[in-house]
Structure 1
């Protein structure tokens, strides 16, 4: 099969269907069919075990309806809408159901069939069924096509989530240095980018059958939204993780004070949603001083309660977290510095996440080995020849080469009179009111942000300035009282 033409063929067919409205619906439509195709291929392997019994009723298995070319038009639509989706959503699943079976129901819980033309639906199914995932070369090549499907997502959702470039997830996994036997978690795992980078980095360290078992059990993910959750589970099956511990849930709905040692992880890699807003009730799951209205702040607090002793974390956060001095942000940063070792902050160049958001971001690296004594800041500049990253000209892992070289041999760097890299003591940072917006980009031309990003940046800066003014007024009032 010509895999390079795979996505285009499906897109061209779907454009003729009145039920598909926009990229999100189109890719969600592809996703549930891909899941069933991939799951059916996996079942071929699992059935080599005589004890295996599919959780999917025989008539609803891909091999029995998707391959039936005579099932088309209105008859196919009726089957999909009234039998397939209804049957998969009603599967009998309980706490004793193996994960590789339970994921079928969770994958379809909130899934939808948007297509209204049964003939076009048949054409799509035929294209997907042409994939020969039992062929190693084609299965391996499909991994790249799968990545292109993920990149088809054009815009961030209402909770601020978007596709994290593979170069970024690979860099973070490389620097965090996975070890066999560790378990890595992502509490807003999206389509599984960080988990995939973790697995790719860890795979080279697998030497024995015992190592392979540890490898298969080394991931844990939670995703709030149905569509990326479905893609993530499919992604894990494609990576031969037969029992993916990926859950369709909201990580913020549990009181963080209720987490115990068994709920903690060796490594956490994340790009939490930011700019989004959770229900007011969500804030009640956090101590009053940590109850921020910003989603990313809540995830930082969640991580601090779910990282094991000596555990390591790498997390992407917007500039607003660094310069923010409102009460909640300061409390979160105080806890981070007092109880964790925030040893490194990498400032990322603008447009890394184009076209999803223009907000500038950073990677924070910390571990739970004791309080912070000093923090290194390093600014990763735009590579030579690039003015902006874009969908057609994305960031590549090779662009992180200067950061990797610096990581191994840290030193202060000054360029044109401005700090590109510098180490600050925790005392120096405290004297700044924990405004840790340091080693930024002094020469950047003023960038015109998208309206949503501009409003978000304005809100964060306003909150920070208000907090600084309140503290200054408090000092003045104390002086007057004396």
Structure 2
């Protein structure tokens, strides 16, 4: 988390964009992203030049070729005056960025659509100075800076692009515990928050992952996969991964529900996602292979069908769904829940408080944890009722002491011990047989027991007698008042 002077600098630059006429936070982040990318490219070339001095003298895979391209390097243009820098960007730098797609990297290909929209030389110079003053060789600082920029989206809800709160993402990642050999996918990746958190978890829990050449190559090139159909989010998501030290993530354009993803069937070992679930699709625009699994127009059900299709046998998933998925009465709702329980292994239902996605949405949600088996395996399903997530549940979302998330993670790790835990507690296990008996209803309230305090009430005739006494006193008072007014 960035604080102090760095946070103030970012806030000042953000305010400058707004004053300069750019009020769309996605556009602001895009422009800052391009500058961070240019600096990263120059840092990479500087490192290659240092290696060349120690080795053969030949620079391997240069980003900037000898000659005029050298003028486009961060270390060169940052020294220009504001007017000259602005002219260079307007005429050459962004054309250079747009041509980087030829290197075969996904983030390079997304740059083909880059546009330069910073309105004034003064603002450009200000942003370049701010970024140049940040020590970005520290991957954590680099990532924290980008996370702070992305957090600006949560206060706007622009274009319906809402980020999943980072602490919820971290919980889901910790509960699924990504491994170095996993292939991880988010089919509705947006800013790639889940993929970033998974990469950080692997680095932290498996520190040797980058010391082995084979594992290092897997980490940078084939471990992380994300789809989205918003080109802006693809660029931002790709840059988010880059700023967090994943060099060549597989971030691709795809309308996940409309396209047949045959080459990705049974490809992934872990899916982490918070797919959009506010609408419906026509049958004609939905991939036919998904409709074979569940015939519905509801996006939340189609995404669940997609996740099952993409996972390998033994693959696991942690996905956020609206409450309606848990108890919806349509045939599609029931069939999908039955499939999770009977054909695969439903591990847990973690109910989230409705304020988690405020200020931009108050929808009630839950996290489903399941493992694809194709042969069943559901035994006991673990339920947890999260009542506090460390922040107030109003639009302000201020930090609070009340936080159930550490307890969620702790009890998840030892959930088998909760077999005899009372249903009045926040977490408990429910046998598969009981879920079947309840028609595969997965709503927590279906199984939770509410403990009522016994209250002794007075006899009804005594209460009536007291009311009659009060009425007599009121009538007497009114009569006296009338007498005084005559």
TM superposition score normalised by structure 2: 0.77
Of 420-429 and 118-127, the range deviating more from structure 2: 420-429
Give the equivalent residue in structure 1 for 2:15. Answer: 12
CA distance in 2, matches of 1:82, 1:221: 32
Deviation at 1:395, TM superposition (A): 7.9
Q: CA 1:328 to 1:355, structure 2 compared with 1: closer, same or farther past 3 Å?
A: same
Give the equivalent residue in structure 1 for 2:404. Answer: 399
Deviations 1:92-128 (CA, angstroms, capped at 9, x unpaired): 63xxx442xx52231342x433333233223222322
Structure 1 gap segments, 5+ residues each: 444-482
The one of 58, 78, 83 equivalent to 2:69 is 58
CA distance in 1, matches of 2:274, 2:389: 23
After superposition, where does 1:73-92 map in structure 2 within 5 Å?
73=83, 79-91=88-100
Conserved 8 A contact 2:419-2:428: yes
CA distance in 2, matches of 1:396, 1:221: 34
Give the equivalent residue in structure 2 for 1:410. Answer: 418
SS at match of 2:207: coil
Deviations 1:282-338 (CA, angstroms, capped at 9, x unpaired): 314422562433322222111101111111111111112112222332333233233
Deviation at 1:362, TM superposition (A): 0.9
SS at match of 1:15: helix
Deviation at 1:359, TM superposition (A): 0.7
CA distance in 2, matches of 1:302, 1:215: 24
Greater relative contact order (CA < 8 Å, ≥ 6 in sequence): 1
SS at match of 1:9: helix
Deviations 1:138-168 (CA, angstroms, capped at 9, x unpaired): x53343232211110024355x542112211
Q: CA 1:9 to 1:284, structure 2 compared with 1: closer, same or farther past 3 Å?
A: same
Q: CA 1:118 to 1:343, structure 2 compared with 1: closer, same or farther past 3 Å?
A: same
Aligned-residue CA RMSD in angstroms?
A: 3.3
SS at match of 1:69: coil
Asked if 1:230 is matched to 2:235, the reply is yes
The one of 308, 318, 324 equivalent to 1:320 is 324
Q: CA 1:394 to 1:268, structure 2 compared with 1: closer, same or farther past 3 Å?
A: farther
Give the equivalent residue in structure 2 for 1:32. Answer: 34
Conserved 8 A contact 1:60-1:84: no
Deviation at 1:437, TM superposition (A): 1.5
Conserved 8 A contact 1:411-1:421: no
Give the equivalent residue in structure 2 for 1:141. Answer: 141
Q: CA 1:92 to 1:60, structure 2 compared with 1: closer, same or farther past 3 Å?
A: farther
Q: CA 1:357 to 1:60, structure 2 compared with 1: closer, same or farther past 3 Å?
A: farther
Deviation at 1:3, TM superposition (A): 1.6
Asked if 1:69 is matched to 2:80, the reply is yes
The one of 230, 247, 258 equivalent to 1:253 is 258
CA distance in 2, matches of 1:193, 1:123: 28
Give the equivalent residue in structure 1 for 2:429. Answer: 423
CA distance in 1, matches of 2:274, 2:136: 30
Structure 2 gap segments, 5+ residues each: 53-58, 451-486
SS at match of 1:355: coil
Asked if 1:271 is matched to 2:274, the reply is yes
Asked if 1:240 is matched to 2:250, the reply is no
After superposition, where does 1:10-409 map in structure 2 within 5 Å?
10-18=13-21, 20-46=22-48, 48=51, 50-54=59-63, 58=69, 61-63=72-74, 66-70=77-81, 72-73=82-83, 79-91=88-100, 93=102, 97-99=103-105, 102-109=106-113, 111-134=114-137, 136=138, 139-153=139-153, 154-156=155-157, 158=159, 161-203=161-203, 204-207=205-208, 209-210=211-212, 211-216=215-220, 217-256=222-261, 258-259=262-263, 264-277=267-280, 281-285=284-288, 286-288=290-292, 290-369=294-373, 370-371=375-376, 372-382=378-388, 388=393, 392-394=397-399, 399-407=404-412, 408=414, 409=417
Deviation at 1:10, TM superposition (A): 0.6
Give the equivalent residue in structure 2 for 1:478. Answer: none
Conserved 8 A contact 1:325-1:433: no
Give the equivalent residue in structure 1 for 2:477. Answer: none
Of 210-219 and 367-376, the range deviating more from structure 2: 210-219
CA distance in 2, matches of 1:31, 1:17: 18
Deviation at 1:387, TM superposition (A): 5.3
CA distance in 2, matches of 1:306, 1:247: 15
Q: CA 1:296 to 1:107, structure 2 compared with 1: closer, same or farther past 3 Å?
A: farther
Deviation at 1:358, TM superposition (A): 0.8
Q: How many residue pairs were aligned?
A: 425
Q: CA 1:157 to 1:301, structure 2 compared with 1: closer, same or farther past 3 Å?
A: farther
Deviation at 1:351, TM superposition (A): 1.1
CA distance in 1, matches of 2:401, 2:39: 31
Of 297-306 and 233-242, the range deviating more from structure 2: 233-242
CA distance in 1, matches of 2:295, 2:72: 46
TM superposition score normalised by structure 1: 0.77
Task: Decide which structure has greater helix share.
Answer: 2
